[in-house]
Structure 1
Amino acid sequence: MSNNEKNQGNNPNINYSSGVNPQPTRQPKRGNPNNRPDKNLEPTSLKSLKQLGQNNPPTDVKSDIHTIPIVGQIEGHLVLPPKNKTTKYEHIIPQLVAVEENPKIKGLLVILNTVGGDIEAGLAISEMINSMTKPTVSVVLGGGHSIGVPIAVSTDYSYIVATASMTIHPIRLTGMVIGVPQTYEYLDKMQDRVISFVTQHSRILPDHFRQLMFQTGELVRDVGTVLVGEEAVNHGIIDEVGGLNKAVNKLRELINRREGGLPH
């Protein structure tokens, strides 16, 4: 037996032929016969796109403005079905705390396109945003309905694009409702909490807001009012009609005022 044959028997991963230098052949990984790329080695951005349906923003851009989108349905104490697009308040609140504590972040931009959702979760987010010391600006895109109204007015300044709408309606309960006077008293207290917050942080009066809430004849199967774009400004709920450009410029203005020692 030649030396080549002996070596070939000792190392099955090397193919020897006479007169040719030995060349190692690539062997597939164990448990991976098709030699496919390992999923664990996929980039983090690709994993995020597959699992969450979103792509991570560029990390090399240094910005002192943090953006929080509030979209879909605001999820509170109950977990919504998986097909619902939701914003979980337990995800938003830690972000707000981090923004408040991070010295590199100087302002917060809140972008809304929500149909509403859990009342207490929405009010919790609204109170958190309103209690921040850093400048905050909100923009309503598409819709800021129901409990999205308090979130929109919780910032230092609010915008709504011309085609966006806001639905103001009474509080609803889902599931079994006990038809006793205490149930209606509870609903009144919940509505008073929403009315109080909105009227304290906007220019609309409580009686006017309540009138919009209980308006009849406008919605087909519901009680309430739909305000589109400039109508929300005319009623005193939103500060100004505008989009991203105005919102960012306003936030920069508020940041400069705060850094200059002026109230924002």
Structure 2
Amino acid sequence: MQALWRFIASVFKWGWRILNFIRNAVLNFAFILFLLIGLGIYAQFQQSTIRPDTGALLVNLSGTIVDTPSSDSKLRQLGQELIGGNKDVQENSLFEIVKQIRYAKDDPQIKGIVLSLNNFLGADQPSLRYIGKALKEFRDAGKPIYAIGDSYTQSQYFLASFANKIYLSPQGSVTLQGIATNNLYYKSLLEKLKVTTNIFRVGTYKSAVEPMIRDDMSPEARKADSRWLNTLWSNYLTDVAANRNISTAELYPDMDQLLKQLKANDGDTASLALKNKLVDQLASRPSVEKQMTEFFGWDEKNKNFNLTSIYNYPVPEPENKDLEPSEIAVVFAVGAIVDGPEMPGMVGGDTTAKQLRDARLNKNVKAIVLRVNSPGGSVSASELIRTEVQALKDEGKPVVVSMGGLAASGGYWISTPADYIVASPSTLTGSIGIFGVINTFENSLGAIGVHTDGVSTSPLAEATITKALPEQFSQMMQLTIERGYKTFINLVAKSRNKTPEQVDSIAQGRVWIGSDAKNNGLVDELGDFDDAVKKAAELAKLDKYQINWIRGEPTLSEILFGQVSVQSMLPDAVSALLPAPLRQVASDIQKQPGFFNNMNDPGHRYIYCLSCSYN
């Protein structure tokens, strides 16, 4: 017996030592990690204060531009670097970039802007337009803008078109390929897996569920998408052609004409871009550096022309004595709308509702701008946010919605109580429809010899993913979906001063581009974020005010590891080996199921626009 107790004591003793070792190792690792982060932040801030007396603001954007990045601070960027994240997936704040450009306009140390966009991956069209507006203000102030690039993608060239002079490498090109939607359809896959997909929906054009019930796009969805897609592309061509003082036909000839021109030019894409006035000069990197040095001067220490990277260009906050007590709060609803707290890249119904409530209870907040850039999501989460917007309106605080690139389905649902809606001509909105999805796996399980059986007190208790849905349950779900659609229609009708019949005629899940949405009475004005803020101040009768940016604070784990999941499904090394078309397919495979992985509406009801993405 004593030997047994000695053995048990020995096991506990060594187990305790192992636990202590693990605990100490974890604590030491955490200490070293925080030490590295602290040193990195100090080095970053030290570096950010060192810049030449005069020179260029180098807008060397890397990654994408979004309304609210999940890694917008130096700490998060450093955390991304520490874990080996790819800088190409870096997210940049739209509003921070615009603020920096506008501050540089009046900064005597900044003599001009150099756009270096080789690592810029893109943004939605309204975001590009908003940055372009700031660049035009900078240029109109008498300061030049130069765009330098080895080649230009479509998004890169949109920003470059605002430059006084565009340089292109002699071996480069300007790639304008147009815009396309590419959704994956997996009806056949689900059938092969013997998955039963139960769909409940209202709306002729509600194509969010089509990937699960079709292997191709429906004629109705094709017709609707073609309209907004062609208008979006027309807006792009019109803006860029105006910037370059050429016609849209010169900017983008039809394919036969383009092939003819390229053949006559012996396949030289760079000289063709110069001949068609898309760029101003073909020049190698050393040649461009020499010309930039002539204008901005030479930095002997850094062996480059005098410049300050936009990533090291802090805009000072106004002193407290200059702050106005009246505030216009800006609340963001960016990403798919899900129930619960905010998650990276998604709108948490609880989080956003709380932010709106805090703004309502803050006596200094006189008006609210709700920035919506969302394809929608959960009905219950969207309704939670909508009721807080309504409460603000009932409280007498004006609410103005500023729509970004996308404010559809649930994004429009939460916008309905607003006093005023401002959308870009290129915003995708509408998609007024609703659907429910429940997948059951009784056939999949049966194929491998697994079956479900039991007893229940009612057919509703039989509703489980391991059995076929009871007919009564399916009927109840469809009735609930139809009720949800009527609610959506009535909300829109009340807010837009229309009859339910009038709304239904432009609803049915159909997506509208901003200009069409304005003509159909779904939005009040075509404009940008500045116009929304101006309208909020007008409605609140404010001559002076300050902006109170309300953003969620990420957790430490999100800061350090929030970017990892972007790369986890397909490593960069593998992705880089794929041809460009296959890389796009791989990207689609990664991002399309994202919403379905987070479908957590308690009633299985969704107001979501899956077909609103484009590239």
Tell me the TM-score normalized by structure 1.
Answer: 0.70
Q: Structure 1: where are the runs of 5+ without partners?
A: 1-30, 215-223, 258-264
Residues 100 and 174 (structure 1), Cα distance of their counterparts in 2 relative to 1, 3 Å cut: same
Shift of 1:169: 4.3
Paired position in structure 1 for 2:355: 95
3-state SS, counterpart of residue 426 of structure 2: coil
| 1:24-173 equivalences in 2 (<5 Å) | 38-39=35-36, 41=38, 45-49=73-77, 50=79, 60-61=317-318, 62=323, 64-76=327-339, 85-132=345-392, 133=395, 134-173=397-436
3-state SS, counterpart of residue 130 of structure 1: helix
1:199-231 per-residue CA deviation (whole Å, 9 max, x = no partner) reads: 1111332112223333xxxxxxxxx31211121
Identity, % of aligned positions? 20
Paired position in structure 2 for 1:203: 497
1:50-108 per-residue CA deviation (whole Å, 9 max, x = no partner) reads: 4896779789454611111111100126x99x8x7211111111111111111222211
Shift of 1:139: 1.1
Residues 206 and 36 (structure 1), Cα distance of their counterparts in 2 relative to 1, 3 Å cut: closer
Q: CA–CA distance in 2 between the matches of 1:249 and 1:157? A: 11
Q: Structure 2: where are the runs of 5+ without partners?
A: 1-27, 43-72, 81-89, 97-314, 441-468, 543-615
Shift of 1:48: 4.5
Q: CA–CA distance in 2 between the matches of 1:37 and 1:230? A: 50
Matched to 2:435, the amino acid is R
Q: CA–CA distance in 1 between the matches of 2:386 and 2:479? A: 23
3-state SS, counterpart of residue 152 of structure 1: coil
Match of 2:513 among 222, 228, 252: 228
Q: CA–CA distance in 2 between the matches of 1:150 and 1:122? A: 7
Paired position in structure 1 for 2:558: none
Matched to 1:135, the amino acid is P
1:20-77 per-residue CA deviation (whole Å, 9 max, x = no partner) reads: xxxxxxxxxxx69xx9981463659433554896779789454611111111100126
The 8 Å contact of residues 140 and 152 in structure 1, kept in 2 or not, is answered as no
The alignment status of 1:213 with 2:525, answered yes or no, reads no
Matched to 2:35, the amino acid is D
Q: CA–CA distance in 1 between the matches of 2:316 and 2:389? A: 25
Farther off after superposition, 173-182 or 106-115: 173-182
The alignment status of 1:174 with 2:406, answered yes or no, reads no
Farther off after superposition, 138-147 or 224-233: 224-233
1:110-159 per-residue CA deviation (whole Å, 9 max, x = no partner) reads: 11111110011112211211221211111111111111112222211111
Shift of 1:174: 2.4
The 8 Å contact of residues 163 and 229 in structure 1, kept in 2 or not, is answered as yes
The 8 Å contact of residues 330 and 368 in structure 2, kept in 1 or not, is answered as yes
Paired position in structure 2 for 1:238: 523
Matched to 1:161, the amino acid is S
Residues 98 and 255 (structure 1), Cα distance of their counterparts in 2 relative to 1, 3 Å cut: same
3-state SS, counterpart of residue 176 of structure 1: strand
Matched to 2:538, the amino acid is E
The 8 Å contact of residues 400 and 536 in structure 2, kept in 1 or not, is answered as yes
Shift of 1:194: 1.5
Aligned pair count reads 215
Residues 53 and 226 (structure 1), Cα distance of their counterparts in 2 relative to 1, 3 Å cut: closer
Q: CA–CA distance in 1 between the matches of 2:34 and 2:520? A: 58
Q: CA–CA distance in 2 between the matches of 1:48 and 1:136? A: 31
Structure with a larger share of its residues in helix: 2
The 8 Å contact of residues 432 and 488 in structure 2, kept in 1 or not, is answered as no
Q: CA–CA distance in 1 between the matches of 2:437 and 2:33? A: 49
Q: CA–CA distance in 1 between the matches of 2:540 and 2:431? A: 31
Matched to 1:158, the amino acid is I
3-state SS, counterpart of residue 540 of structure 2: helix
Residues 234 and 104 (structure 1), Cα distance of their counterparts in 2 relative to 1, 3 Å cut: same
Paired position in structure 2 for 1:191: 485
Tell me the TM-score normalized by structure 2.
Answer: 0.32
3-state SS, counterpart of residue 38 of structure 1: helix
Matched to 1:86, the amino acid is M
The 8 Å contact of residues 74 and 118 in structure 1, kept in 2 or not, is answered as yes
Residues 184 and 37 (structure 1), Cα distance of their counterparts in 2 relative to 1, 3 Å cut: closer
Farther off after superposition, 99-108 or 59-68: 59-68
Q: CA–CA distance in 2 between the matches of 1:237 and 1:138? A: 12
Matched to 2:531, the amino acid is K
Shift of 1:252: 0.8
Alignment RMSD, CA only? 3.4
Matched to 2:523, the amino acid is I
Shift of 1:165: 1.3
Paired position in structure 2 for 1:219: none
Paired position in structure 1 for 2:545: none
